[in-house]
Structure 1
Amino acid sequence: MTRRTTRSHPFSPLALSALATTGVLVLTACSGRIQTNQNQPAPSGGSTAGTDALIDQLTMPAEVAENVGGLVNYNPFSPNALTKVYFYEPLMIRNSLNCQMTPWLATGYKWEGATKLTFTIRDGVKWSDGQPLTPEDVKFSLDLGKRFSALDTAGIWNDTFGKRATDVTVVGSDVTITFSGNAAAKFDSIIGVKILPKHVWEKIDDPVKYIDKDPVGTGPFTVGSYNGRKLVLERRADYWQADKVKVQKLVLEGNYDATQAALKLNAGGLDAYWGEIPNPQVAFVDKNPTLNHFWYAPAGTTVLTPNLTKAPFKDVKFREAYSQGLNKDEISTKATYGVMKPASQTGLKLPYAENLMPEEFAKKNTVLPFDTAKAEQLLDAAGYKVGTNGMRTNPDGSPLQIKFTVQAGWIDYESTVEVIVRNLQAMHLDAKTVKSAPDNVDAQKKSADFDMVLEYLHGGCEVARNIGSKLASDQIPTKTKVQSNVQRWNDPATDATIAQLSGSTDPAEQKKLVGALVDTMMTQYPVTSLIYAPARMIYRTDKAVGWPSAEDPYATNSDMLLIMTHLKSAK
Structure 2
Amino acid sequence: MSKRRKIRTVLASSTVVVALCVAGCGTTTTNTSTPTKTPSGTSGTTSAMGKYPLVLAQQDGSPGYTENFNPFSVNDLGGVTYMYEPMYEINSLTGQQTPWLATSYKWIGTKKLQFTIRQGVKWSNGKPFTAADVVFTFDLLKKYPALDVNGIWSYINGVSASGNVVTFTFKTPNVPGWQYIAQQVIVYPPQFQKVNPVTFTNDNPVVTGPYVVGSFNSSQYTLKLNPLYWQKSLIKVPEITEVALSNNQTSDLQMSEGKFDQSVLFEPGIQKAYIDKDPKDYHYWFPLDSPTALYFNLTEAPFNNVKFRQAMAYAIDKQKIYKQGEYGYEPPANQSLLPPTLDSSWLDQSLAKKYAYNYSPQKALALLNSIGYHKQNGELIGPDGKQLSFTLECPTGWTDYIQDMQIIQTELGQLGIKVNTETPSVTTDTNDVETGHFQAALVYGWSESNPYYIYDYIMSSSESAPVGQTATFNANTERFNDPEADKLLSEYAKTTNTTKQHQIIDQLEQISFTQVPVVALVSGAGWNEYQTNHYVGWPTASNPYTAPGSLVVLTHLRPVQ
One fold, TM greater than 0.5? yes
Between the aligned partners of 1:205 and 1:11, the Cα distance in structure 2 is 24
- Provide the secondary structure at the position in 2 that maps to 1:239: coil
Quote the offset at 1:204 in angstroms: 4.6
> How many residues end up aligned between the 2 structures?
535
2:276 aligned to 286, 300, 309, which one?
A: 286
- The CA distance in 2 between the partners of 1:393 and 1:202, in whole Å, is 56
Unaligned stretches of 5+ residues in structure 2: 21-28
Give the Cα–Cα distance (whole angstroms) in 1 for the partners of residues 549 and 376 of structure 2: 53
Contact 2:288 2:525 in 1 (8 A): yes
Deviation at 1:60, TM superposition (A): 1.7
What is the deviation of 1:91?
0.8
Aligned counterpart, 2:359: 370
- Deviation of residue 82 (structure 1)? 7.9
Query: For residue 43 of structure 1, what is the aligned residue in structure 2?
Result: none
User: Equivalent residue for 1:432?
Assistant: 419
Structure 1 residues 162-173: aligned runs within 5 Å: 163=155, 165-173=156-164
Kindly indicate whether residue 306 of structure 2 is the aligned counterpart of residue 295 of structure 1: no
Instruction: Tell me if the contact between 2:435 and 2:471 (Cα under 8 Å) persists in the aligned partners.
Output: no
Whether the 8 Å CA contact 2:58–2:242 is kept in 1: the answer is yes
413 and 228 in structure 1: CA distance in 2 versus 1, 3 angstrom threshold? closer
Quote how far apart the aligned CAs of 1:105 are.
1.0
Counterpart code for 1:261:
S
1:59-115 deviation digits (Å, cap 9, x = unpaired):
2248684766585x6443454558312222111111112222121111222233442
- Alpha-carbon contact 2:436-2:468 (below 8 Å) kept: no
Segment of structure 1 superposing worse, 226-235 or 140-149: 226-235
Do the aligned residues in 2 keep the contact of 1:50 with 1:570 (CA within 8 Å)? no
1:402 to 2:412 alignment: no
Q: Residues 457-476 of structure 1 correspond to what in structure 2 (within 5 A)? A: 457-474=445-462, 475-476=464-465
1:358 aligned partner:
348
Does the alignment pair 1:9 with 2:38? no
Residue 236 (structure 1) shift: 4.5
Match in the other structure for 2:23: none
Q: Deviations over 1:426-482 (max 9, x none)?
A: 4x3333333253577667657867654333443424544432232233414422324
CA contact (8 A) 1:325 1:370 kept: yes
Matched, 1:90 2:86: yes
- Check if 1:122 corresponds to 2:118: yes
SS of the equivalent of 1:296 reads coil
2:24 aligned partner: none
Counterpart of 2:8, as a letter, is F
Question: Which residue of the other structure, out of 377, 384, 392, is the alignment partner of 1:389?
Answer: 377
CA distance in 2, matches of 1:347, 1:172: 43
Aligned partner of 1:44 in structure 2 is: none
Using the alignment, how far apart are the partners of 2:225 and 2:502 within structure 1? 44
Q: 2:491 aligns to what SS in structure 1?
A: helix
8 Å CA contact 2:536–2:557 kept in 1: the answer is yes
Partner in structure 2 of residue 23 of structure 1: 33
Structure 1 pair 143/473, CA: closer, same or farther in 2 (3 Å)? Answer: closer
Q: What do residues 21-53 of structure 1 show as CA deviations (whole Å, max 9, x unaligned)?
A: 44259xxxxxxxxxxxxxxxxxxxxx9568834
Equivalent position SS for 2:287: strand
Rounded Cα–Cα distance in structure 1 between residues aligned with 2:548 and 2:373: 48
Deviation of 1:197 (Å) = 4.0
Residues 279 and 336, structure 1, Cα contact 8 Å, conserved in 2? no
Taking structure 1 as reference, are residues 397 and 457 closer, same or farther at Cα in structure 2, changes over 3 Å only?
same
Q: CA RMSD in A?
A: 3.5
Question: Aligned pair in 2 of structure 1 residues 196, 468: CA closer, same or farther (>3 Å)?
Answer: closer
Q: 5 Å matches for 1:233-244?
A: 233-236=223-226, 238-244=228-234
Separation of aligned partners in 2, 1:412 and 1:109: 43
Query: Which has the larger displacement, 543-552 or 448-457?
Result: 448-457
Distance (whole Å) between structure 2 residues aligned to residue 529 and residue 285 of structure 1: 30
In 1, distance between residues paired with 2:142 and 2:89? 23
- Residues 384/77 of structure 1: CA separation in 2 closer, same or farther (3 Å cut): closer
Three-state SS of the structure 2 residue aligned to 1:563 is helix
Contact 2:332–2:523 (Cα < 8 Å) also in 1: yes
**Higher alpha-carbon deviation: 78-87 or 176-185:** 78-87
Deviation at 1:414, TM superposition (A): 2.2
CA distance in 1, matches of 2:60, 2:312: 41
CA distance in 1, matches of 2:159, 2:552: 27
- Counterpart secondary structure, 1:517: helix
Contact 2:285 2:528 in 1 (8 A): yes
Judging changes above 3 Å, is the alpha-carbon distance between structure 1 residues 398 and 112 closer, same or farther for their aligned structure 2 residues? farther
When residues 349 and 128 of structure 1 are mapped into structure 2, their CA distance, relative to the original with a 3 A threshold, is same
Distance in structure 2 (CA, Å) of the matches to 1:451 and 1:224: 42
Equivalent in 409, 412, 424 of residue 421 of structure 1? 409
> In structure 2, what residue type is equivalent to 1:105?
L
CA distance in 2, matches of 1:516, 1:308: 21
Secondary structure at the counterpart of residue 531 of structure 1: strand
Q: Which has the higher contact order (CA 8 A, sep 6+)?
A: 1
- SS at the partner of 1:433? strand
1:297 and 1:535 in contact (8 A); partners too? yes
Report the residue type matching 2:532 in the other structure: T
Output the amino acid matched with 1:431.
K
Secondary structure of 2:405's counterpart equals helix
CA contact (8 A) 1:445 1:477 kept: no
- Structure 1 portions without partners, runs of 5+: 26-46
Do the aligned partners of 1:114 and 1:505 also contact (CA within 8 Å) in 2? no
Q: CA 1:501–1:402 in structure 2 vs 1: closer, same or farther (change >3 Å)?
A: farther
Matched residues in 1 for 2:375 and 2:436: separation?
Answer: 28
**Match in the other structure for 1:247:** 237
Distance 1:226-1:513 versus aligned 2 partners, 3 A rule: same
- State the 1:263 CA deviation: 3.4
Matched, 1:330 2:340: no
Query: Are the aligned partners of 2:312 and 2:364 in contact in 1 as well (CA < 8 Å)?
Result: yes
Q: Per the alignment, do residues 400 and 520 of structure 1 end up closer, same or farther by CA in structure 2, a change over 3 Å counting?
A: farther
Matches within 5 A, 1:49-88: 52-57=47-52, 58-61=54-57, 65=61, 71=67, 74-78=69-73, 79-80=75-76, 83-88=79-84
Moved more, 145-154 or 408-417: 145-154
Give the counterpart letter for 1:401 in structure 2. L
Give the distance between the partners of 1:365 and 1:283, measured in 2 at CA. 40
* SS at structure 2 position matched to 1:466: helix
Question: Identity across aligned pairs (percent)?
Answer: 29
Q: Is the 8 A contact 2:120 2:129 kept in 1?
A: yes
Asked if residue 515 in structure 1 is aligned to residue 525 in structure 2, the reply is: no
Of 453-462 and 408-417, the range deviating more from structure 2: 453-462
Matched letter for residue 103 of structure 1: P
Q: Would you say 1:454 and 2:464 are equivalent positions? A: no
- SS class of match (1:250): strand
What corresponds to 1:35 in structure 2? none
Residues in 2 aligned to 1:379 and 1:9: alpha-carbon distance in whole angstroms: 36
